[in-house]
Structure 1
């Protein structure tokens, strides 16, 4: 799993128990999953369709730096299924695990649209293909 993003737990992210508010963490995960899918599917119109059971394993505290990791599980006809793990950057302690996040590629009218992708593409590879075509 590749950890793409780091988030710093600040006072405004805390719940009354002085640990990270779960909704804030889910917001960060959803945003990261959307960005990942947008880049992979090469389309800015991507939405979250489904998140499986969310397992909160440990509670981050103020000052912790978290890493959000995503890995593709499956390319569907109009979707990309991801797995997510969030861990404490310094201790590597697992914070949360989500086994299934389904992101759907949309067309101009907001309906699912086939994306034609079957495997992970990296930005450097896309840039290289653009250079070769020139």
Structure 2
């Protein structure tokens, strides 16, 4: 699992129980999945099609730092299937896992478009190719 993003839990992120609001965490996960997909597919036109069952295992409170990890499960023809894990860096607990987030690559009209990708690419490798 590659952890790319950290979020600091602030007062506006809390639910009435003074713990991290699940909807806020899901928004962070959706944004991270979209950003990861845009970079991998080299296309800003990517949308979330599906998010599998989510499993909340722990909580976070104000002041905690959570870390969001994303891994590629599979490259489809027009899609990218991701897995996500969020952990609390303060308590070392796993907060949530999402086993399947399906992101779809779109053309300019919003129709699914083949992306031609078969494996994870790192920006540093793309830059090395461009600088040759």
Aligned counterpart, 1:102: 102
Between the aligned partners of 1:80 and 1:100, the Cα distance in structure 2 is: 10
In structure 2, the gaps of 5 or more residues are none
CA offset at residue 89 of structure 1?
A: 1.4
Q: Deviations over 1:71-91 (max 9, x none)?
A: 000000000000000001133
5+ residue gaps, structure 1: none
Query: Residues 64-83 of structure 1 correspond to what in structure 2 (within 5 A)?
Result: 64-83=64-83
Residue in structure 2 matched with residue 128 of structure 1 by the alignment: 128
The normalised TM-score by structure 1 is: 0.97
Residues of 1 paired with 2:131 and 2:55: CA distance? Answer: 44
Q: How many aligned positions are there?
A: 132
Query: What is the TM-score when the length of structure 2 is the normalising length?
Result: 0.98
Aligned partner of 2:89 in structure 1 is 89
* RMSD (CA atoms): 0.6
Question: What is the Cα deviation at residue 59 of structure 1?
Answer: 1.1
2: CA distance, partners of 1:92 / 1:103: 29
Deviation string, structure 1 residues 89-124 (Cα, Å, up to 9, x no partner): 133210000000000000011000000000000001
Q: Alpha-carbon deviations, 1:18-56, whole Å to 9, x = none?
A: 000000000000000000000000000000000000101
